[in-house]
Amino acid sequence: MRNTNEIWKPIKGYEGLYEVSNLGNVKSLNYSHTGKPKLLKLCKLKNGYLMVQLSKNSVTEKRLVHRLVAQAFLPNPDNLPEVNHKSEIKSQNNVENLEWCSSSYNHSYGTGTKRMVAKRNNNNCNNAEKPVKQITLNGTLVTIWPNINEAGRNGFNIGCISMCCNGKRNSHKGYLWEFA
């Protein structure tokens, strides 16, 4: 069943080859040189955004769908650099869900700040404040440092200690390291 509310516009730089719709769909106007239009498959990136590949003159480019929709359907008189998803769902690329914005607005929009803090905490950015154990290779505890930085002030590399504590490295300077 076709959506009669779907509006198609040419993709800038690909006029006559591709079109994007107000609902976030992308189609080739001459799919595989058959002269027939075809909806293109959108690829979901690890960060949640949808991407599509466009080809012109044997050159293929990857383009973000939300930017294609915004460029085709949303005026940008202030020449704002980013596109915000109002719903905060990066795969919802209908024009009503998008708006041009500044970088600071985009990053602080909705739950953005809360999510960044949670991500930072989950990525162990606070590990520099945790006590660390310095252990000989045969398992004898040498000392417990109050934090990685204190061990660093005593001749050890804080990056190497962090990698040991996070399971990305086995040892550093002949010692095992783990969070206390």
Q: Give 127-161 pLDDT, tens digit per residue.
A: 667 899 999 999 999 999 999 888 988 999 988 99
> Which DSSP string do the residues of 106-125 spell out, in sequence order?
HHHSTTHHHHHHHHHHHTTG
Summarize pLDDT for 29-65 with one digit per residue, the tens: 999 889 999 999 999 999 999 999 999 999 999 999 9
Helix runs in the chain, H state only: 65-73, 103-108, 112-122, 148-152, 158-165
Which amino acid does the sequence have at 7? I
Domain with CATH 1.10.10.10 in the chain: 126-179
Distance CA 130, CA 19 (A): 53
Which amino acid does the sequence have at 50? L
Distance CA 43, CA 53 (A): 9
Domain with CATH 3.90.75.20 in the chain: 1-114
The CATH number for 126-179, chosen from 2.30.30.60, 1.10.10.10, 3.40.50.300, 3.30.1540.20, is 1.10.10.10
**Per-residue pLDDT averaged across 17-23, rounded?**
97
CATH class of 1-114: alpha beta
Whether the Cβ atoms of residue 109 and residue 88 lie closer than 8 Å to each other: yes
**Per-residue pLDDT averaged across 88-111, rounded?**
91
Distance CA 19, CA 117 (A): 38
Tokens of 126: 């606070």
**Per-residue pLDDT averaged across 62-75, rounded?**
98
Tell me the HSE value of 97 on the side-chain side, using a 13 A CA sphere.
16
